[in-house]
Each structure stands twice: as structure tokens, then as C-alpha cells.
């Protein structure tokens, strides 16, 4: 079965080779890599053209102006032909057996959506620990916060059709998982680390004040919650965040 891998790029020359090489190293080879460049101003497009000229599984697109990762991902999803949709951003990587193990897990458990644990590295590639995937999430548990790493997620278009991200600048992946979990009762996680997340100093996860603001935007503008209901979930997010910090 064909897997469509969705990758957005923007000024990604520093880490892009590592990302693409991790895809090329997959033990499962029936994939297509759809990369949409979000109007880069460095040499990203030249790197993409070189890879696409060498492997016809790599398909590249570019946007005429900078519109954000959600729009770039949606453009790739629109052109995808695979049964499974998977995600890997241009500064992240996959372990070689990621696709093979993930597809087997999806089929054995008859899942529409699944995800995995992942390792964390810094900008220099030094390991910083990891994130353990919850074994199971539902729409209600996911409202507390995004527990699915985008670089690990995979969904089945035979069960869901193509599902797109809202065209917002931040946290659009979380909004996608929420929309899927409104359609299915749960998603399951693989406990093994199947991906490598690069923790960059300017990522939104490094700034909790901004993260609260973006969460509020999801609750109010995407989910359509009242101010009271949105405040309730913001407080839940803070409770679980500080509880995790206390016991970590």
C-alpha cells in the first residue's frame, strides 16, 4: 500500500538533507514524498529539485507566497495518492523501520489514526530525551493538549477520506487530530520511538505563554467553544503541564 508522506519546507537548508535521507532509508519502500515549499528565500528549492531529479517518488511543489505550514501541508495532501497519510517536517527525522512498523500496527488494530513515541534532539543533534506516546487518546483527552507528535502521526484515507488542516499559523496539526477524533472513537499509540524531533529554540513549545495563546485560538476559533468552556480547558492544560513538571 502506498504511503503519502507530507513535508512542508521553509528556509530549511540546515536540516533538510537529514530529513530526506531518513525517508530514503526506510525499510518500507512503497511511498511518495510530497514536499511543498512555503516560499523559501534560501537554497531550499534547489535542494528539493536535486532530490526530485534523482528519485521519482519525491514530488515537489512551491507556494507563490508564504502562507504557513498548514497551507503547505494541505497542498501536499491534495496531491497525495496514498492510502495512508503520514507527516514529517523538514527538521525532523524517522527511524529506518518507522513506516514498516507503523503500517503493521495500523492494520493489526484496524485504526484510522495512530502515532508513536519519539526521541528529542537539539539543533546540534544531541539527544535530549524523548516523549512517550499515550497508549490511547480520545477527543476528550486530546482537548487538554496535543498528545500526538505530528512527525509520528498517520491516518487512513480509506476510513476517513482526505482530512485537511485548518489554515491557521500555529497548532494546525492538533486541530487536525481533533477533527479526526470527532469521527472515530479513539487513536492508539506505538510505544517504540519511531521518529526524531528536533527541538529548536524558537519553537512554540518552548514558550508556554505563546502556547496558551495558540491553544485559546483552537478552542475559540476552531472548536467554537464559549469563553467559559475555553477557559476550562486552558486551566486543564495548565494543571496537567505543572503536574508533569512536578513529577518529572
According to the model, what pLDDT value does residue 247 have?
53
Domain-wise residue ranges, the chain: 3-203, 207-248
For residue 109, what are the CA distances in angstroms to 5, 61, 140, 190, 201? 21, 34, 21, 11, 37
Write down the pTM of the prediction: 0.94
Choose among 73, 235, 209: nearest CA to 144. 235
> In this structure, what are the phi and psi dihedrals at residue 79, rounded to the nearest 5 degrees?
-90, 0
Spatial separation of the C-alpha atoms in residues 189 and 211, rounded to whole Å: 23
Q: Are strands 113-121 and 187-198 parallel, antiparallel or unpaired?
A: parallel
The pLDDT tens digits of the residues spanning 77-131 come to: 999 999 999 999 999 999 999 999 999 999 999 999 999 999 999 999 999 999 9
According to the model, what pLDDT value does residue 207 have?
65
Q: Classify domain 3-203 at the CATH superfamily level.
A: Spore Coat Polysaccharide Biosynthesis Protein SpsA; Chain A (3.90.550.10)
Residue 240 reports pLDDT greater than 90 = no
72 touches 37 (CB < 8 A):
yes
Strand partners, 198: 121
For residue 9, what are the CA distances in angstroms to 4, 49, 227? 16, 13, 35
Quote the distance between the C-alpha of residue 234 and its chain's center.
22
Angle at which helices 172-181 and 69-79 cross, to 10°: 50
**Residue 204: which pLDDT band, with cuts at 50, 70 and 90?**
very low
Spatial separation of the C-alpha atoms in residues 16 and 199, rounded to whole Å: 15
The mean predicted confidence, pLDDT, of the chain is 94
42 touches 13 (CB < 8 A):
yes
Percent of the chain with pLDDT over 70: 94
According to the model, what pLDDT value does residue 203 have?
53
Choose among 170, 130, 178, 120: nearest CA to 153. 178
134 touches 148 (CB < 8 A):
no
The pLDDT tens digits of the residues spanning 3-60 come to: 999 999 999 999 999 999 999 999 999 999 999 999 999 999 999 999 999 999 999 9
Among the residue ranges 32-36, 58-62, 167-171, 175-179, the one predicted with the least confidence is 167-171
Helix H segments across 116-165?
Answer: 139-142, 157-160
Contacts of 156 (CB under 8 A, 6+ apart): 83, 84, 106, 111, 112, 113
- DSSP-derived letter for residue 206 is G
Q: How many CB atoms lie within 10 A of CB 212?
A: 14
Amino acid at each position: 500500500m502506498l504511503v503519502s508522506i507530507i513535508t512542508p519546507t521553509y528556509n530549511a537548508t540546515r536540516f533538510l538533507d537529514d530529513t530526506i535521507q531518513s525517508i530514503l532509508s526506510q525499510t518500507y519502500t512503497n511511498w511518495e514524498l510530497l514536499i511543498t515549499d512555503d516560499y523559501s528565500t534560501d537554497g531550499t528549492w534547489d535542494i528539493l529539485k536535486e532530490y526530485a531529479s534523482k528519485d521519482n517518488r519525491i514530488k515537489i511543489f512551491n507556494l507563490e507566497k508564504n502562507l504557513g505550514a498548514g497551507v503547505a501541508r494541505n497542498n501536499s495532501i491534495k496531491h497525495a495518492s496514498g492510502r495512508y497519510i503520514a507527516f514529517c517536517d523538514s527538521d525532523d527525522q524517522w527511524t529506518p523501520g518507522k513506516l514498516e512498523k507503523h503500517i503493521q500496527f495500523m492494520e493489526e488494530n484496524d485504526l484510522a489514526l495512530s502515532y508513536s513515541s519519539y526521541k528529542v534532539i537539539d539543533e546540534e543533534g544531541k539527544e535530549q530525551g524523548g516523549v512517550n506516546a499515550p497508549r490511547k487518546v480520545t477527543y476528550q483527552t486530546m482537548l487538554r493538549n496535543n498528545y500526538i507528535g505530528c512527525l509520528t502521526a498517520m491516518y487512513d484515507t480509506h476510513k476517513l477520506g482526505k482530512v485537511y488542516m485548518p489554515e491557521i499559523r500555529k497548532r494546525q496539526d492538533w486541530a487536525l487530530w481533533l477533527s479526526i477524533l470527532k469521527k472515530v472513537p479513539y487513536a492508539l499509540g506505538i510505544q517504540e520511538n519511531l521518529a526524531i524531533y528536533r527541538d529548536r529554540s524558537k519553537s512554540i513549545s518552548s514558550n508556554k505563554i505563546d502556547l496558551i495563546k495558540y491553544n485559546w485560538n483552537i478552542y475559540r476559533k476552531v472548536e467554537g467553544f464559549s469563553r467559559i468552556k475555553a477557559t476550562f480547558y486552558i486551566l486543564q492544560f495548565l494543571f496537567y503541564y505543572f503536574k508533569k513538571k512536578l513529577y518529572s
